[in-house]
Amino acid sequence: MYNGSSSNPSSSPLLGLPKVMRDAQNPRRPVLGSWLMLPGASLARMVAQLGFDFIVVDCEHGNIADADMHATVGAIAAQGVSPMVRIAYPDNWLVKRTLDSGAHGILCPMMHTAEQARKLVSYAKFPVPKAQQKPDTISGIRGAGSPFAPAVFGQQMGDYIATANQNTLIAVQIETVEGLENCEEIAKVDGIDMLFIGPNDLCASMGYPALEHSNIPEVQEAIKRILAAAKAAGKYAGFFCMGADQVRARYEQGFDFFNVGADVLALSVWNAVELGKLKDLRPRM
């Protein structure tokens, strides 16, 4: 059973994505989301209305700038869905801007070491007053000031600052050989809630073609190791999927958290399929 939030005890009930993750444990069910790489609050609202638990706003590889991120996060949350932002790199200012937008969680790519993970946690957590600290309290260096995040959570500033440490989910991507070798120690870092596997980059880092990960036994063994590390530390495990069949297989393997697809995938695949059905009408094209 997950215990990653136990180091931030609070009398307040869980909110946002941490609540979604906890509630999906008993009875167990997959936590399902989509992936946005294109900007636009209208697009975000449309996808959020489809029934997903979360939506990842991709600010690493996606075409989404800072202002677009703020608008997209608010649009997703307004539909009762958890917005999660993939930051480009574990820099303090990126974590600050992301959480100040009201994101329910962050997904950090290319996590290599436990020390790097501890720094990420410190960036994402507000300082806890000394009088309220306990031996297992996580106290970070996040600055307080954004009026947007409390509004997204439906809170006043004081309530948000007091509860954000437990209501912000921190997921890190294990997608390099270095991250794989350190995955057990990364999983043990207090404040890290989830190990998320990016199979393409993990496969490439191991010396194979990125898109062939599903056919390479060594990569599949690495995936099993990362999953085992997450579970041994009482943390969640997530996997980047491209469709429902992949989600089903990884859920049965023991993973908790999945994207079903992405906006660019839906646009390109649907259009290609439908266009292909008309190929006989355009023989010279």
- The residues annotated with a catalytic role in the active site are 61
Q: How far apart are CA 35 and CA 99, in angstroms?
A: 18
Residue 217 · residue 208 · CB < 8 Å: no
Other beta carbons within 10 angstroms of residue 63's beta carbon come to 12
By the 10 Å C-beta count (0-12 exposed, 13-18 middle, 19+ buried), 130 is classed as: exposed
Q: Residues 6 or more apart from 151 whose CB is under 8 A from it? A: 74, 102
Q: How far apart are CA 112 and CA 120, in angstroms?
A: 12
CA 47 to chain centroid:
17
